[in-house]
Structure 1
Amino acid sequence: MDPTRNEALVAWMKEHGHSSNSLAEAVNTALERLTGRPGGHDGSSVRSWKSGRVRWPNSATRKALEDVSGLPATALGFVPRGRAQSAPAPQQEDDMKRRTLVGSIAAAAAAAAAAAPGHAPRRIGMSDVDRLQHRFAEIIASDHRHGGQRGIEQRAAALADEALNLQNSGSATQRVRNSLYACAASFRSSAMWAAIDGRRYDDAKAHMREAQALAEMSGDQAIKFRIWSHAGAMYRHMGRPADALAANDVARNLHITRRDPMFASLGLARQAAIHGAAQDRNGTSRAYNQAQDAMERADSEAHRPVWLLAFYDQAELDSLALSAHLALGDYPTAEFHAHRCLANLRPHMVRSRAITTTRLAHAQLAQGDAEAATATALKVPATAATQHARVSRMLQEFGAALRATAPGSPPVHTWTEHTAAWRTSA
């Protein structure tokens, strides 16, 4: 493999269906929005970026690339002048396997104290933590727009390593060091969730192990909750409800759930979804009612982490109830929660809207209304239908159920033509 080749950009283009010419056109359009003048890039420009001949485009081009992709230039494999090129993203999995989790992290912390003789060590402070937390907010935003993409997973993993590398770069108070571990755990938990959402479960479990080690070292209850709650969701999607309940119970037993009812509500809402997957109707109803009660008791003005504020609200509670009742075969109740979720979803929840719309179509079809179900499924954006692993699979299952329920009907014909157009445009 050519060590200068920009594998991150190549992988992103492949994942999003871009040729060199189409990416050049998208960048030129973004440049026109930024500067008022059309860009002058063509396919050869993009090939120069992919080959590594141009490793750091000019600032306007970098901003245009970031607008097109939703990722920073460094996550697309570009390297600032004077900085060594980072290892290609595909090597991260091997690096992860070689890394001894807690031991290597502890070694990094010890190394941070050893400044070069004769040089004053750099002082790491909360401003460095704030910068990382801003990057974390960008990861959260990308996840809610796109969801499940390998590029988000790789970017989050790289930022986790960046937070750990900062430990090596100077001296810091224990508070700052704990905060850096919490940042690294946050990024790693986002990499874990992107892998779960993309149905890459082996990768998700690897991210989970590292995230858990980092969270323990940080002492941050909120990020511990997030990681174990994600683990519960992962095992639920894998069809392992007993493991899902066990993992979710770890999250629910953290003292943060007693201090803040909003955390308790999320833990209970995910427990309801797990009970649904386990065909436990009473458990589903009990956990959902408790989750609703806890949400209503929560202080709306309380300080909470950005990842929780970004997604957990009444719409998400209804989304989890929808998942539970769909699994239970209680389709009218599932449809009720789907409509209520869609009515309350915030605009940035693009991925969640696609998932909820798909589940609503399943609930309608299961009640015998093939025409309404097909009309609902047609509302799922093509990008989600073709690029989001969970949505793609659910829509494939919808198509199979539609053909079995109403063979040869107009809805089947409509759906077949619609999905054929997706394949043509992919």
Structure 2
Amino acid sequence: MVSTAAVPNLAFRQLRGQRSAGEFAAAVRRAAREIGEQVACDARYIGRVESGEIRCPNYAYERVFLHMFPGASLADLGFSARESVRGRGARVVSEPPPTTGPTTSAPSTSASSAFPPSTSASSAFPPSPSRPALLPRDTETDDFPEESDVLRRVFMTSGTTTVAAASLCLGGAPASAARVSLPTQRRVGETEVNAVEKAVRQIRLLDDRHGADGLYRRAAQPLREAYELLDAGTTARRATSDRLHAGAGELAISVGWLAHDSGRYDDARSHYAEALATARLAGDAGLEAHAFCNTSFLARDAGRPREAVRAAEAGQRAARTLGSPRLLALLALREAGGRAGLGDRTGCDRAIGRARAAFDRGMAAGDPEWMNFFREAELELLEAQCWSALGDWSRAARHGRRATALQDARFTRNLALYRAQLTGDLARAGRVDEAAATGHQVLDLLTRVQSARIRGMLAGAARVLEPRAGAGPVAGFLTRHQESPPAPPGSPVGPVGR
């Protein structure tokens, strides 16, 4: 069944009423959260539905729409029956159910398909009351249900399209960063790819020095521009195209990390999912492993330890052929963190053992550039977090001390994080004077580092120490902590790290 012209979905348009597409998208995201679904609805998605490009929503969106408009059917909302857009002769179809393994053959099997035009419109139901906007949420592929709409940035790989002038700029960040301009031209080539790769390095450098809070909003613009380059298409040679996909995916992960570290978990989930989709489309196992690594980390921090384990295991599968024992070690530690969150001490210990064995094999040519932070200090920190999650505070503190002693002072943000972790573990282990002294060191570093994560961790340690406020060193730390800027609402307060 081939259709050549889109028929606008008038019923769905009437549901939106006087709200803007963005406001209606926010209402959809809120409704999704009410029923435990995860979608990344935005104004673009609403526009695609209303234009008739999307004939039938995927299963996640279907459940959300039917929740928003009780008593309505998909037909009432202007959609075609699912079976009518899944015929054998259909040119493009509605999203399939999630698959269980990586695929790189076509966008329609890895990052949600585009849809044929709508062929029906019916009477509308009154729109539901307006709901406040929320940050977008996405789900990942592989072990996770329903890919989100943000993954539908299908990357054109042929043709020539004028690329508008764009800039990859982090100006105004806590430390000034160089401006990287992308010239207007009809072919995406080395200049553009180099600019994307440079933006990734700039973001990582500034994060290491200053933390995420002041960077996230600025970093979102270069990310949009990188994906615009992909959308524009390229006649560059395959090697350049592969670099552009990899660079855009790594940029998505870097921006996702800034969101993650500043407590914007929904935004981080969206960016990591987009990176994973890019990896699947490009057949890039290294990028896929990185996306799963960060997804696992985010799931652990967000209180979804089982998902953290699944994502880490998926990352290990992707990384097996990459020739990087250090990457396998980090992914094993991500798995250990998830198992610790499940209270699985034996599974956690085994994963840590695999991580240490892989780490001891040393560096290799296959180690990705982004892993420059993963040294012995980080290994010790991640193990400390595992024992902390399992309630073995003394053991956690031992590894935390090693981490702080080994950490390179140039990584200011990580040094603050390691000491914040140690402060909490010492406080819970009853070593309150040492905890207070370490807490002072964290406060010293927070004059240079902006990280909601670190402030949240320190706030958690301070709450543990409050019953001991009468002790001299503890009282001094608590007084100073109270006078420092507070952690933003919703910041993590438990054992978290990079």
TM-score (norm 2): 0.59
Which of 261, 272, 277 is 1:197 aligned to? 261
Conservation of the 8 A alpha-carbon contact between 2:309 and 2:334? no
What residue is the counterpart of 2:355 in the other structure? Answer: 291
CA deviation string 1:304-353 (max 9, x = no partner): 332112x1111111110010011112122211211111122123322221
What residue is the counterpart of 1:327 in the other structure? Answer: 389
Conservation of the 8 A alpha-carbon contact between 2:340 and 2:386? yes
Conservation of the 8 A alpha-carbon contact between 1:284 and 1:324? yes
- Which amino acid in the other structure matches residue 206 of structure 1? S
Pairwise CA RMSD: 2.9
**Hey, what's the Cα distance between the residues in 1 that align with 2:485 and 2:256?**
29
Q: 1:207 to 1:342 in 2, by over 3 A?
A: same
Q: 1:165 to 1:277 in 2, by over 3 A?
A: same
Q: 1:155 to 1:182 in 2, by over 3 A?
A: farther
Shift of 1:100: 4.5
What residue is the counterpart of 1:237 in the other structure? Answer: 301
TM-score (norm 1): 0.69
1:274 aligns with 2:321: no
What residue is the counterpart of 2:279 in the other structure? Answer: 215
**Hey, what's the Cα distance between the residues in 2 that align with 1:366 and 1:103?**
46
1:166 aligns with 2:215: no
What residue is the counterpart of 1:124 in the other structure? Answer: 188
Q: 1:260 to 1:305 in 2, by over 3 A?
A: closer
Shift of 1:382: 4.8
What residue is the counterpart of 1:373 in the other structure? Answer: 435
Deviates more, 1:171-180 or 1:331-340: 171-180
Q: 1:154 to 1:219 in 2, by over 3 A?
A: farther
**Hey, what's the Cα distance between the residues in 2 that align with 1:158 and 1:206?**
15
What residue is the counterpart of 1:39 in the other structure? Answer: none
Task: Name the structure with the higher helix share.
Answer: 1
What residue is the counterpart of 1:265 in the other structure? Answer: 329
**Hey, what's the Cα distance between the residues in 1 that align with 2:401 and 2:361?**
24
Shift of 1:127: 4.6
Conservation of the 8 A alpha-carbon contact between 1:335 and 1:360? yes
Which of 317, 341, 345 is 2:407 aligned to? 345
**Hey, what's the Cα distance between the residues in 1 that align with 2:297 and 2:360?**
23
What residue is the counterpart of 2:484 in the other structure? Answer: 422
Q: 1:323 to 1:124 in 2, by over 3 A?
A: same
Conservation of the 8 A alpha-carbon contact between 1:273 and 1:284? yes
- Which amino acid in the other structure matches residue 113 of structure 1? T
CA deviation string 1:214-236 (max 9, x = no partner): 22222222211111111111110
1:155 aligns with 2:218: yes
Q: Which runs of 5+ in 2 are unaligned?
A: 1-132, 139-147, 164-184, 489-498
Q: 1:414 to 1:254 in 2, by over 3 A?
A: same
What residue is the counterpart of 2:160 in the other structure? Answer: 113
1:336 aligns with 2:398: yes
What residue is the counterpart of 1:308 in the other structure? Answer: 371
**Hey, what's the Cα distance between the residues in 1 that align with 2:196 and 2:366?**
19
* SS state at 2:254 partner: helix
1:400 aligns with 2:463: yes
* SS state at 1:171 partner: coil
Conservation of the 8 A alpha-carbon contact between 1:147 and 1:351? yes
1:384 aligns with 2:431: no
- Which amino acid in the other structure matches residue 435 of structure 2? A
What residue is the counterpart of 1:411 in the other structure? Answer: 473
**Hey, what's the Cα distance between the residues in 1 that align with 2:249 and 2:428?**
41
**Hey, what's the Cα distance between the residues in 2 that align with 1:228 and 1:162?**
23
Q: How many residues align?
A: 323
Conservation of the 8 A alpha-carbon contact between 1:160 and 1:183? no
1:357 aligns with 2:419: yes
Q: 1:364 to 1:104 in 2, by over 3 A?
A: closer
* SS state at 2:318 partner: coil
Matches within 5 A, 1:28-177: 100-106=149-155, 108-109=156-157, 112-114=159-161, 122-149=186-213, 151-167=214-230, 168=232, 171-177=235-241
Shift of 1:123: 4.0
Conservation of the 8 A alpha-carbon contact between 1:161 and 1:184? no
Q: Which runs of 5+ in 1 are unaligned?
A: 1-90
Q: 1:104 to 1:187 in 2, by over 3 A?
A: same
CA deviation string 1:89-138 (max 9, x = no partner): xx9x78x9xx95454333x545x53569xxxx744333532332122111
1:184 aligns with 2:233: no
Deviates more, 1:195-204 or 1:254-263: 254-263
Shift of 1:268: 0.7
* SS state at 2:154 partner: helix
Q: 1:104 to 1:268 in 2, by over 3 A?
A: closer
- Which amino acid in the other structure matches residue 104 of structure 1? R
* SS state at 2:484 partner: helix
CA deviation string 1:397-425 (max 9, x = no partner): 21111112x2422234212321243249x
Shift of 1:249: 1.2
Q: Quick one: percent identity of the two aligned structures?
A: 27
**Hey, what's the Cα distance between the residues in 2 that align with 1:125 and 1:137?**
19
